[in-house]
Amino acid sequence: MTDEQLMRIALDEARIAASLGEVPVGAVVANDGEVVAKAHNLRETGRNATYHAELLAIDAACKQLGGWRLWQCELFVTLEPCPMCSGAIINSRLRRVVYGAADPKAGCCGGLTDLFALPFNHHPVVEGGLLQEEAQALLQEFFIMLREKRKKK
């Protein structure tokens, strides 16, 4: 599969998150263009701050591949990873990270700060902006809906 096809699967995951009332973020771990694992944000459903799409996808990929080193894998995520997920990307040795929308409030791939610019022992290749309009539109729709819900209450 191409990068764009893999990102479309991540976007589908983000839509699942939105349908559950979760901030729409989806992630896919791929190896050589094939999906190894996919996940969506489940922070509200799971009542757990660590249930971000990226962490859940990394967790599922480790289980699938039977190891913690994902050096041959790539991560596709609809929103720029936060500090926690960027840390997990370094620790799991992911080879490449491709994200959709930038996150100036919490993004650690250059949005707010660039964690990967620091001298850690692992540096993934990072590319942003793939299908960003779609990822951004999903997030915007979600927050507009949330505001309207709150107004009604």
Nearest distance, CB of residue 83 and Zn ion, angstroms: 8
Nearest distance, CB of residue 81 and Zn ion, angstroms: 5
Asked if residues 43 and 18 have their Cβ atoms less than 8 Å apart, the reply is no
78, 77, 89, 72: which is closest to 32 by C-alpha?
Answer: 72
Residue with Cβ nearer Zn ion (1 or 127): 127
Q: Determine which one of 13, 22, 54, 80 is catalytic.
A: 54
Residue with Cβ nearer Zn ion (57 or 73): 57
- Starting at the edge strand found earlier in the chain, the sheet holding 125-127 runs 34-40, 26-31, 74-79, 96-101, 125-127
For residue 86, report the phi and psi dihedrals to the nearest 5 degrees: -65, -35
Residue with Cβ nearer Zn ion (38 or 52): 52
Which residue bears the tokens 């994200």? Answer: 99
**How is residue 5 annotated by DSSP?**
H
| 54 in catalytic set | yes
User: What residues make contact with Zn ion under the rule CB under 5 A?
Assistant: 52, 82, 84-85
Nearest distance, CB of residue 13 and Zn ion, angstroms: 14
Give catalytic residues, as residue numbers.
54
